[in-house]
Amino acid sequence: MAEDEKSQLDPLRTYELRLLRCSIPSDHLDETPPPPSKLSNTSTASQLHSLIENLLQLIESGQYRHALSSEAGRTLFNFNSSHLPSLFDSADQFYNESVVKCVESFIYGDNCEENDNEKCYRAFLVMAIAVAALLSFTQCNITGPIEKFPLMPIIGLYLEEDDDCADWEEWEGWARKELMSVGSDLLGKFSSLQVLYKYNVLVNGLGDFA
């Protein structure tokens, strides 16, 4: 039984290596990705692996914005239009409470009997989205090509709602202050700071899981 559970984590190790490769210059890499390992036959596990596979392919191809707005991102951030009025209230409440709750709900779910292996895959998906957010910020502000992000990424990318609102300018300023309060040097003309802050929230949320 223990050996079977161990084999179920083999694909996770492959996913981790693929995500790690995204941070290494491509001219030092073998272009052939490692072969996929045998996956679990359960429908839930199959759907989860499909989300991860699609997400990794987008990150590997440099399509970071598409990675953030992929089905994996929509599954993690399970917001809908009925949440919109509450989003205007407080950036701090939204990112540090609502987003954190999304992460906890996604990883642990409502089913306390869910096996630990599946939770590991769910946590990896959160990490992959966090990496996509960090790479998106880096691409927009440092490496290029510059791609305009919605001021409010959750609405612009996941709900596809109009994010043309003065409140989001304030939220961007709030994100700048929060990031600078922990030592980030953001005095230059950096944009998409909410994307970077989202990365920070997701990674910190995974700290509790670890």
Q: Which residues 6+ apart lie within 8 Å of 25 measured at CB?
A: none
* pLDDT (0 to 100) of residue 166: 58
pLDDT at 37: 44
The per-residue pLDDT for 48 is 93
**In the prediction, which pLDDT does 172 show?**
87
Q: Can you give the chain as a three-state secondary structure string?
A: CHHHHHHHCHHHHHHHHHHHHCCCCHHHCCCCCCCCCCCCCCHHHHHHHHHHHHHHHHHHCCCHHHHHCCHHHHHHCCCCHHHHHHHCCCHHHHHHHHHHHHHHHHHHCCCCCCCHHHHHHHHHHHHHHHHHHHHHHHHHHHHCCCCCCCCCHHHHHHHCCCCCCHHHHHHHHHHHHHHHHCCCCCCCCCCCHHHHHHHHHHHHHHHHHC
Domains identified in the chain, total number: 1
pTM equals: 0.83
Residues of the chain with pLDDT under 70: 1-6, 25-43, 79-89, 110-114, 154-167, 187-188, 208-210
The pLDDT value recorded for residue 164 is: 54
Res 61: pLDDT: 92
Predicted local distance difference test score (pLDDT) of residue 23: 74
**What is the reported pLDDT for 60?**
93
| Structural domain that includes position 84 | 2-209
